[in-house]
Structure 1
C-alpha cells in the first residue's frame, strides 16, 4: 500500500487502522483530500472505530464532504455519527431503508430451535440431516475459535464444511469463498465477518449455531439468504444462556409475522426478570 500511495492515487481505499498507521509514519497525507466515504458506517462505529476515524479526520481539510453508507441507522450510532459529520447533513433513504431498519426480510422463513448447551451439537446435526440437500448453507458462530472447532467437528463427521473468519489469510478466504460459491463445499461456517458484504447467490439457508448478541446482527446474518427476490430460510439455536437476546428476537419475529415458539416467550420473560433483578440490586 505504501508503494501505491507514492503515485498519488485518486481514490485510496483502506481500513481505519492501516490508514492511521501510514499517517503516523508520514507515508501519506490527506491535506488535499476533499472526500471521505465510510462504508458499513454503523458497523464501523459500533465496533469502536470512532477514535481512529476521528484521528483520520484530524488530517483532512475542514471543508471536506463526508459520506456515510449504512443498511441500519440505530439511534446510538446516529449520535456517534453526529460527531463526525456537519450539522447540516442530508439523509438519503433508498427503498424505505429507514422504515425497515432492524426488520428482517419477510421472504425469509425464520425458525427458532431451543436446546441446552450440552445438546446444541446434536440439535445442529439433526437440523443438517433435515435441510442439507446440496444447496449452500451458511452457519454463524460467535468466535473465530468456535468457528474453527465447529468446522473441524463437522468435517470429522463427514460434512463438506469450510471455515471463514478474519484471522484467515486473504488467499485462503478467497479460496474458501470460491469453493462455497461453486458449491464444491456447500457448508460455510463463519463469524460475523460474513454477516455484511457477503453476496453469494443461492444461499438456501442460514443457521445461527450461536445466537447473535443484537437484533441488528441477527437481521444482517439471516439477510445472507432470501436475496434478490428469492425465498430463504433461517434457523437459530437458542439456549438458556441466550435469554438476554430473546426479547429482541421475539420482536424481530413478530415484525416479520413469523411464529414465536412459547418456549422462546418464556425464555424472554426470564431474561427480563434477570435484567430487572440486576438493575434493582445494582
Structure 2
C-alpha cells in the first residue's frame, strides 16, 4: 500500500550504545549508498552537534529543530529539498520535508512510540532507489524498540549487524 509509510521499506536495527553512535553512523555512510539521508535525534543540541561534526568531516549536512525561528527552519529545509544538502539532521516533531531523493533514514536515537517510528518511516519518501530505515538502539532502548517493532509487525533485515 503506497499510503503506508512502511510499504517497500527495509527496516534494520543496530545495537549501539550512545557513545559509539557517531562512529557507527560514519561507518554506515562509508558502506551504504544513498541519495539523501534524514537523521532523527531527540534533542536540538544533538542535532547541532551532529551537524557540526558532519560538516567538519566534509558531509553536506544541515540541521532543523524546534529551537530555530520558522523562517530559518524553512530556509534550511529548502536547502535540503533542492539537493544543496544531502543530509538532514532533525528532531522528531518537525514538519516533514517531502523529498523524493530521501532513500535512507536513521533513527540516531530510538523512537519512543510507534507513531514516532511511522513518522520517521514517512520521510523515506518515494525514492526510486532502495529505501531503508535504520534504528540505533542501546541495550536500554532495545526492549522498548522491540515492543514497537512487534506492534507494527516490522520484520528487521538484520543486514547491518551489531
Q: When the two structures are superposed, what TM-score results if normalisation uses the length of structure 1?
A: 0.51
- Aligned CA-pair RMSD: 2.7
- State the partner residue of 1:218: 117
Alignment: residue pair count: 160
More strand by share: 2
- Specify the alignment match of 1:172 in structure 2: 72
Report the secondary structure of 1:193's partner residue. Answer: coil
User: Taking CA–CA contacts closer than 8 Å with sequence separation of 6 or more, which of the two structures ends up with the larger relative contact order?
Assistant: 2
Q: Which residue is equivalent to 1:130?
A: 31
Q: Which has the higher helix share?
A: 1
Q: Tell me the residue number matched to 2:6.
A: 105
Q: Helix, strand or coil: the match of 1:247? A: helix
* 1:134-185 CA distance string (max 9 Å, x none): x111000011111111111111122111110111122211221111011111
1:204: how far off? 1.2
Superposition deviation, residue 252 in structure 1: 5.2
Structure 2: gaps spanning 5 or more residues:
none
Matches within 5 A, 1:260-279: none
> In structure 2, what is the equivalent of residue 151 of structure 1?
51
Segments of structure 1 that go 5 or more residues without pairing to the other structure are 1-94, 265-282
Q: TM-score, normalised by structure 2?
A: 0.84
1:226/1:233 contact within 8 Å kept: no
| In 1: Cα distance, 2:28 partner to 2:36 partner | 14
Distance 1:209 1:250 in 2: 16
Show structure 1 runs of 4+ deviating over 4 A.
228-231
Quote the residue 2:21 is aligned against. Answer: 120
SS at 2:13 equivalent: strand
Bigger Rg, structure 1 or 2: 1
